[in-house]
Amino acid sequence: SRTNHCLNSTAGSAVCYQIDDGQSSAIRSAIESAWQRGFAPDEQLQLQLLALNCYACHERDGLGGIGRNRKAFFETVGHVDLGDEGRLPPPLTGVGRKLQTTWLNKVLQGNKADLRPHMLLRMPIFATAQTTIMPQQFATIDQAFDQSEVAVFGDLTGLAEVGRQLMDVGCVQCHQFGGNSLPGVVGIDVQHIGARVRPQWFHDFLLNPGAIKSRTRMPTFFPDGKSQRDDLLEGNPQRQIAAMWAYLKDSQRLDLPEKINESRSQNYELRPVDQPLVLRTFMNGVGTQAIAVGFSQQVHYAFDAEQLRLALAWRGRFIDAQGTWFVRAAPPADPLGEDVVQLQDLVLLAQLHDVEQTWPTNADGYRFKGYRVDNSGVPTMLYSVGGCDIEDRSTPWVGPNQVGVGLTRRLLIHNANGPQHDVKRWIRAATGERLTAQSDHAFVNDAGLVVTVANQAAAVANGRIRNIAGRSEWLIPLDIVDTQVIEIHYTW
């Protein structure tokens, strides 16, 4: 005989299955056996997450989370673009290693730790008896680090002021400090962070955010383990992270970061004078992970850290930071100067199985690793694509009277995977509706952009112009056994 067993689906409708007596008996026996042997700690926690329906919103170890078709219904207050990590419920994978048990208990006890006021979705209130043991379960199962702050950071005496200075490196552009912020900033308030997260997790996250949280918008301030502020604590990343912890755990008693103290300045136009200026912002034609770099020679560019492309270049005035610092919901920024030109619409380097393969259009396998700044203030973008690690540095190409007329781009490409015989690496040096040769090493497109590959005579000789979907592309083959340097000049 067969019996219909019905389950409620997530859409609210019933789904029925025919199960015969033998199958029913096997299911019943399995359940009884599990209860008799008892549940392992991770199984107990999983049952509790199921009972409280936590998986409806949160993901843990590949289970649950917001389905792709439901993500569009989750928004932030004012529809501010903070990415998925800012508008969706946070994952619970590894949460026991991240949060202090006392803080996690507050979160579970009726949302007393109201940490994400920018999210429209709110946590439900659970009965105390249902959640009392869960914080310790998370900590035990996730093998939480129990080291004290002294064990992780060492002596914190006298470090708080250095930590305050480090907040201006980039923290103030996204975070609040006890409700104080640059106007328009929406994001996690980092005050009292010492009461919320574990010291070891803080250390590891600051050192390499991408390794702890996949696709996070948190930038890497220590690319390749090196600091961008060599003048503080001798540039030691370990001591600088300790200083940031020292400031944040007591920030309510200390002065605010300097940029917040100066945030009522009336002039927000950035003017590069002695050194280049770097601004992370949203930009039209670049995206939500734009890095704008301005030079005193009055030639500037914007790099797209999501699609890994040198997106725009322009001359004259640099950029207005008001929208970035004060009006987070404002439209994306535009260059203040003139002669704006698109340099790339897609990533420069790719692997192609044959020369007729369409150039990749998505960011799968791309990884942005942050940027480092040299003594002259020039940033070098660090990223991986196509099995290669790339260091990408652009500077003004200076003409008469020390006025910038273009950009010189130097790429150091390291083959991380060794020779691969089934694929060929190419750079897509220039694109346009049409490309016209100016020499064996240079082409100009219909927008007037001249692209010159300076030091790759053999490779350029083997390059080719191809036409795909009504557009012309200049492809140059690369034969990277270990490390290769490419130099490209852009003028317009």
- Digit-by-digit pLDDT tens for the chain (492 residues) are 555 666 554 445 556 778 888 888 898 888 888 777 778 889 899 999 999 999 999 999 999 999 888 888 888 776 767 778 878 899 999 999 999 999 998 888 765 545 677 778 788 888 888 888 999 999 999 999 888 999 999 999 999 999 999 999 889 888 888 877 887 666 788 988 888 999 999 999 999 998 888 778 888 889 888 998 999 999 999 999 999 999 999 888 888 899 888 775 556 889 999 899 999 999 999 999 999 999 999 999 999 999 999 999 999 999 998 878 776 566 788 999 989 999 999 999 998 888 889 998 876 778 999 999 999 999 999 999 988 999 999 999 876 665 568 999 999 999 877 666 556 889 999 999 999 999 889 999 999 999 999 866 666 778 889 999 889 999 999 888 788 899 999 999
pLDDT for 265: 56
List all residues 6 or more positions away from 339 whose beta carbon is below 8 Å from its beta carbon.
Answer: 314, 315, 316, 492
List all residues 6 or more positions away from 488 whose beta carbon is below 8 Å from its beta carbon.
Answer: 408, 409, 411, 429, 451, 452, 453, 454
Closest CA relative to residue 462, chosen from 477, 473, 451, 472:
477
Cβ neighbours around 136 below 10 Å, total? 15
Separation of alpha carbons 27 and 46, rounded Å: 19
Q: What are phi and psi of 103, to 5 degrees?
A: -75, -40
Separation of alpha carbons 326 and 44, rounded Å: 47
- The first and second tokens of residue 481, run together, are 């056994």
pLDDT for 11: 47
Separation of alpha carbons 225 and 341, rounded Å: 34
Separation of alpha carbons 5 and 24, rounded Å: 10
Closest CA relative to residue 437, chosen from 460, 414, 415:
460
Cβ distance 110 to 124 under 8 Å? no
**Dihedral sign of CA atoms 201, 205, 207, 213 in order:** positive
Separation of alpha carbons 316 and 404, rounded Å: 9
CA separation, residue 192 to residues 68, 176, 423 (Å): 34, 11, 51
pLDDT for 10: 47
Statement: the pTM of the whole predicted model exceeds 0.85: no
List all residues 6 or more positions away from 197 whose beta carbon is below 8 Å from its beta carbon.
Answer: 98, 99, 100, 103
Separation of alpha carbons 475 and 459, rounded Å: 10
End-to-end Cα separation, the chain, in angstroms: 80
Separation of alpha carbons 218 and 210, rounded Å: 8
Q: Print burial letters for 77-90: b (CB count within 10 Å at least 16), e (below 16).
A: eeebebeeebbbbb
Q: What are phi and psi of 285, to 5 degrees?
A: 80, -5
Separation of alpha carbons 384 and 389, rounded Å: 4
DSSP state of 225: G
- The first and second tokens of residue 53, run together, are 């329906």
- The first and second tokens of residue 320, run together, are 């207005």
List all residues 6 or more positions away from 214 whose beta carbon is below 8 Å from its beta carbon.
Answer: none
Cβ distance 359 to 346 under 8 Å? yes
